[in-house]
Amino acid sequence: MIKQVLAIETSCDDTSVAVVSDRGWVKSVVSANQDLVHSPFGGIVPEIASRNHSIHLLPLVDKALEKAKLTWNDIDAIVVTSRPGLLGSLLVGVITAKSLALAKNLPFIGVNHLEAHLLAPFLRDETYEPPVDFSYPYVALAVSGGHTQLYLVEGLGKYRVLGRTLDDAAGEAFDKFAKTIGLGFPGGPLVDKYSSGGNIKAYSFPRPLINEDNFDFSFSGLKSSAVRTVDSLDKKPDEKNHEKERADLCASYQEAVVDVLISKLSKAIEQQGVRNATITGGVSANSRLRKRAEELARKLGIEIVIPPLRYCTDNAAMVGYAGLLRLQNGESSGADLRPEARSRPDDFLSGDSR
Ligand code: KG4
Ligand code: ZN
């Protein structure tokens, strides 16, 4: 029986390794964040990302075992994110996982990164555990720099896509807006920070697709509208002494993004008739989104779990848990495991379950 795995995540710009055991217990998770190296370029540079994974990965493997106070003898299998993501980045993780599995004579499995995000609420450690009644089926909103999707999670391997972004991801919408007003990268946390004290009604930004009868998102029009608004301002928000304009712009823009996310999440919860929901991905750090999610949960009388940020942003713990469940289900990968830039068609179910 496989009870403890070492997991590797390198699908984008975060290198992360974790040791995860039965029932999602996280024994250790260690990560190397690359924000600082990509920041001068205003976005992620794939070649730099994969090079940094190569540098950081093996030392992090040692560190994860050390932190968990374990040796290779305690590890039953290896899990690695094999899709979707940047090919060069995924390749570093997949090759390393395969080589370690061969050297240590262990089974291994490649998992879908999005599946891992969806299962993150089940992780547990000394300071976090999911609410006792959190269970399938639940609606999941996955919002990060690369993804914005709404799912109905019906069970292991049963992830029904209810809707997705037609263009930019929510995190991208924050990052591009931040760039427009002269903030750094990644911009989401800065927009969140500068929104504090701003007037959410100061500027009226569009809420794309909010009234459409579907669960799709679109953020590129919102971003263009913000660019036009900023261009038309006399007082540019990146200039000194114009903190009020910056706060109002950030708060109004953030409200537009959050309004759309909460509205679609709310409709999905009601339509699917579930008692549980979760928000995951880097954007779930957003303070306004968290507040509005709390209000929504109270209003609907349901549970919306937002796991701690360490399990919401890209991390190997969630990957380990997804892989552990699959391995315990009798699945594993073979030597032909390859990184894939996109999800496989059968990774997700499409449409409405009703
Ligand atoms: O999940 P993540 O760490 O990496 C991936 O994109 O996979 O998400 C990063 C994204 C970035 O776009 C970042 O700007 C956004 O999450 N983000 C935020 C906040 N913190 C991170 N967006 C809005 N408000 C925040 N507080
Ligand atoms: Zn992610």
Give residue-wise pLDDT tens across range 277-320: 999 999 999 999 999 999 999 999 999 999 999 999 999 999 99
Give the closest residue (by CA) to ligand 1 atom 20.
Answer: 189
- Does the pLDDT at position 353 exceed 60? no
Stretch 43-53: mean pLDDT, rounded?
A: 84
pLDDT in tens, 268-278: 999 999 999 99
| Number of neighbouring beta carbons within 10 Å of residue 202 | 16
Q: Which residue has the tokens 């200039």?
A: 239
- Classify strands 15-21 and 4-9 as parallel, antiparallel or unpaired: antiparallel
Mutate which of 9, 174, 175 to test ligand 1's pocket (most atoms within 8 Å of Cβ)? 174
Give the closest residue (by CA) to ligand 1 atom 23.
Answer: 188
Ligand 1 atom closest to the CA of 171, numbered from 1:
12
Query: If you measure from the C-alpha of residue 73 to the centroid of ligand 1, how many angstroms do you get, rounded to a whole number?
Result: 36
Query: If you measure from the C-alpha of residue 314 to the centroid of ligand 1, how many angstroms do you get, rounded to a whole number?
Result: 10
Give the closest residue (by CA) to ligand 1 atom 22.
Answer: 188
Q: Which of 286, 350, 347, 337 is closest to 82 using CA atoms?
A: 337
- Read off the tokens for 244: 């009020």
Stretch 189-211: mean pLDDT, rounded?
A: 95
pTM exceeding the 0.85 threshold for the entire prediction: yes
E strand spans, the chain: 4-9, 15-21, 25-32, 77-83, 108-112, 138-143, 148-155, 158-164, 276-280, 303-305, 349-350
Q: Which residues line ligand 1 (CB under 6 A)?
A: 12, 144-146, 171, 174-175, 186-189, 192, 281-283, 285-286, 313-314
Confidence of residue 47 (pLDDT cuts 50, 70, 90): confident
- Does the pLDDT at position 236 exceed 80? no
Give the closest residue (by CA) to ligand 1 atom 16.
Answer: 282
Per DSSP, what are the bridge partners of residue 344? none
Strands of the 77-83 sheet, one edge to the other = 25-32, 15-21, 4-9, 77-83, 108-112
Stretch 239-251: mean pLDDT, rounded?
A: 84
- Residues near ligand 2 ion, CB 5 Å cutoff: 144, 314
Mutate which of 113, 148, 177, 313 to test ligand 1's pocket (most atoms within 8 Å of Cβ)? 313
Q: Which of 111, 147, 91, 85 is closest to 18 using CA atoms?
A: 111
Confidence of residue 35 (pLDDT cuts 50, 70, 90): confident
Query: If you measure from the C-alpha of residue 148 to the centroid of ligand 2, how many angstroms do you get, rounded to a whole number?
Result: 10
Query: If you measure from the C-alpha of residue 102 to the centroid of ligand 1, how many angstroms do you get, rounded to a whole number?
Result: 35
Mutate which of 283, 289, 315 to test ligand 1's pocket (most atoms within 8 Å of Cβ)? 283
Q: Which of 326, 289, 330 is closest to 116 using CA atoms?
A: 326
276 phi and psi angles, rounded to 5 deg: -130, 150
Give the closest residue (by CA) to ligand 1 atom 6.
Answer: 145
Query: If you measure from the C-alpha of residue 221 to the centroid of ligand 2, how many angstroms do you get, rounded to a whole number?
Result: 24
pLDDT in tens, 76-127: 999 999 999 999 999 999 999 999 999 999 999 999 999 999 999 999 999 9
Q: Which ligand is nearest to the CA of 43?
A: 1
Query: If you measure from the C-alpha of residue 13 to the centroid of ligand 2, how many angstroms do you get, rounded to a whole number?
Result: 10
* Chain-centre distance for alpha carbon 105: 31
pLDDT of residue 42: 75
Q: Which residue has the tokens 């007037």?
A: 199
Q: Which residues contact 58 (CB under 8 A, 6 or more apart)?
A: 96
* Separation of alpha carbons 51 and 60, rounded Å: 15
Query: If you measure from the C-alpha of residue 143 to the centroid of ligand 2, how many angstroms do you get, rounded to a whole number?
Result: 8
